[in-house]
Amino acid sequence: MPESRIPPAPTPVTRPAHPESEADAPPSRPVTAGQNPPPAAATAGLWSEVRPLLLRLHFYAGVLIGPFLLVAAVTGLAYTATPQIESVLYKHELKVTPRGTADPLSRQVAAARWAVPDGTLLSVTKGAGPTDSTRVTFSKDGLPEGYSMTAFVDPYDHEVLGTLKTYGQWLPARAWLDDLHRNLHLGEFGRNYSEIAASWLWVEVLGGLTLWAGTPRNRQRLRLLVVPRGGAKGRKRTLSWHGAVGLWASIGLLGLSATGLTWSAHAGTGIGRIQDALGGSTPSVSTALPAAGGGSAGGAGTRDVGIDAAVASAQRAGLSGVLVVTPPTEPGSAYVVKENTRSWPSRQDSVAVHPVTGKVTETLRFDDFPVLAKLTRWGIDAHMGLLFGLANQIALALLALGLIAMVLWGYRMWWLRRPTRTEGFTLGRAPARGAWRRIPGRVLAPVVPAAAVVGYYVPLFGLPLLAFLLVDVTAGVVRRRGGRVIA
């Protein structure tokens, strides 16, 4: 009878905690029964339970939200060049040659009225320097919503240099690029694309930072957190670039996400309510005239000191730079003169001027704005490249290029994970399913309500998140029933 042989025990193979890991997880210390695990072991254990779920969410959001982020980054990159584009396209309308003393604003407005005879005067913008033309803006029938007609006047001889259709203070090129970035020229429906991008950008950035920070560390790995890997090409090098660039760009991208949400269609409403509740709404100067003697509004309607006197009163009150004058809209209301210098330091002071007496009836200083209102103003101006001039534009362009690169690197990593021995076209595998079941209840308990609250106030974060969960559950059901899905 042949001697029986007992096969040797198989050699245990240590596998990475997850396919995305750059290296095997460090060995954990054994814990004797009845002892509490040391803090480091407890932290490592919690991270090993949370990381797979975070990785799966980061993957799905990157794959499905990536196109929205890519389009927002490309259109935003184009938008950063608008000041230079405007200076070339509209040089004739914007710049003049100084010569002598400028004509009174009232005379310049009269010339603009001749150029736009069927318009209703909305505002007059006095340039900050001697080479700037004067802008006289009118509302006019037949223009798209939000648009107006602006006449550009040479202040030295009141010649009308031209008229342009403007959106607020934006000239046609900036207005076109702004619409492209905001809604792809698809109207209100198109705004959903940019809001989805803004609603998920912060999630992707914070998720990526957490995954990058959780990478096992030694001296070399610590260096790779901030300096991309060199050497041979491959998935590890791509991941290194994706993470390091994301780390450097994270603060700027979080700022773009936050400021983008403030004027979004859906989340912006909720954010505005929260800001109002916290007393951080942007104030405005009152145009109501103080009642005089018999209760009339200071003799409103009897005469008007005119736009030149209103500007002179504002300048005596300390206003300077680019001044926007809004004439009284109805009897009993005042002129409003407001500074519009949105670079640093911001000059946004405004005054109300009595149309009969020419006296300042109310003054509002930017220094007196609530902190939240100031932060909103600065954040929006930085988002549009206005706060720090050319430096702001360059920073925005670098952020846009970085985001484009990270999205493309993310898709490349997905492509490099595809099975190479399978016949036909295949995609890379998603991180392992079922990660949420391993999350401790003490973690899920606060996370689920927090996600629900954020999803309520930022609906284009909440709705896609629900869609991800439904896709994940459906993929699991199909897989258990014998179907084949890439999930």
Q: Is 100 left (phi over 0), alpha (psi -120 to 50) or beta?
A: left
Pairing of strands 335-339, 134-139: unpaired
Of residues 27 and 391, which shows the higher confidence score?
A: 391
Closest Cα to residue 289, out of 251, 235, 255, 329? 329
pLDDT digits (tens, 9 = 90+) for 326-380: 999 898 899 999 999 999 999 999 999 999 999 999 999 999 999 999 999 999 9
The 3-state DSSP composition of the chain as helix, strand, coil percent (nearest 5) reads 50, 10, 40
- CB burial of residue 123 (10 Å; 0-12, 13-18, 19+): middle
Distance (Å, rounded) from C-alpha 394 to C-alpha 377?
Answer: 20
Whether 25 has a pLDDT exceeding 80, the answer reads no
Whether 23 has a pLDDT exceeding 80, the answer reads no
Spell out the domain ranges in the chain.
Answer: 43-90+175-282+385-446, 94-170, 307-368
State the amino acid at position 318 in one-letter form: G
The span from the first CA to the last CA of the chain, in angstroms, equals 52
Of residues 56 and 186, which shows the higher confidence score?
A: 186
pLDDT digits (tens, 9 = 90+) for 412-468: 998 888 766 555 556 656 666 666 677 778 888 888 899 999 999 999 999 999 988
Half-sphere exposure of 443 (CA within 13 A, CB side): 15
What angle, 0 to 180 degrees and rounded to 10, lies between the N-to-C axes of helices 172-183 and 39-79? 140
pLDDT score at 29: 46
**H helix runs in 155-266, sequence order:** 172-183, 187-213, 219-226, 235-262
Whether 304 has a pLDDT exceeding 60, the answer reads yes
pLDDT score at 428: 59
- In sign, the C-alpha dihedral spanning 20, 24, 26, 28 is positive
Estimate to the nearest angstrom the gap between the alpha carbon of 67 and the chain centroid.
Answer: 16
pLDDT score at 484: 52
Whether 26 has a pLDDT exceeding 60, the answer reads no
List, in order, residues 6 or more apart from 463 with CB less than 8 Å away. Answer: 455
pLDDT score at 30: 47
Average pLDDT of the residues in 51-67 = 89
Distance (Å, rounded) from C-alpha 171 to C-alpha 251?
Answer: 30
Residue whose token pair is 């610590």:
222
For the record, the structure tokens of 77 come out as 């990159």
pLDDT digits (tens, 9 = 90+) for 159-190: 999 999 999 999 999 999 999 999 999 999 99
pLDDT score at 18: 39
* Whole-Å CA distances, 258 to 66, 149, 199, 278, 313: 18, 32, 8, 17, 38
pLDDT score at 12: 43
- Under the banding of pLDDT at 50, 70 and 90, the label for residue 233 is confident
Counting residues of the chain whose pLDDT is more than 70, the rounded percentage is: 81
What's the count of helices (H) and strands (E) in the chain, helices before strands?
14, 8
Span of 10-19, 354-363, 405-414 with lowest mean pLDDT: 10-19
Average pLDDT of the residues in 400-406 = 97
Average pLDDT of the residues in 219-243 = 75
Whether 108 has a pLDDT exceeding 90, the answer reads yes
Q: DSSP assignment of 22-35, as one string?
A: SSPPPPPPP--TTS
pLDDT score at 429: 65
Three-state SS string over 327-352 comes to CCCCCCECEEEEECECCCCCECCEEE
Of residues 49 and 451, which shows the higher confidence score?
A: 451
Closest Cα to residue 360, out of 316, 413, 417, 426? 316
Distance (Å, rounded) from C-alpha 269 to C-alpha 265?
Answer: 7
For the record, the structure tokens of 346 come out as 């911001």
pTM of the model: 0.84
Span of 108-112, 214-218, 251-255, 448-452 with lowest mean pLDDT: 214-218
Q: What is the DSSP secondary structure assignment for residue 435, as one 8-state letter?
A: G
Out of 3.10.450, 3.30.70, 1.10.10, 3.40.50, the CATH code matching 94-170 is: 3.10.450
Whether 1 has a pLDDT exceeding 70, the answer reads no
- 8 Å CB contact between 393 and 384: no
Whether 229 has a pLDDT exceeding 80, the answer reads no
For the record, the structure tokens of 8 come out as 């040797």
Pairing of strands 335-339, 350-353: antiparallel
For the record, the structure tokens of 213 come out as 């920070």
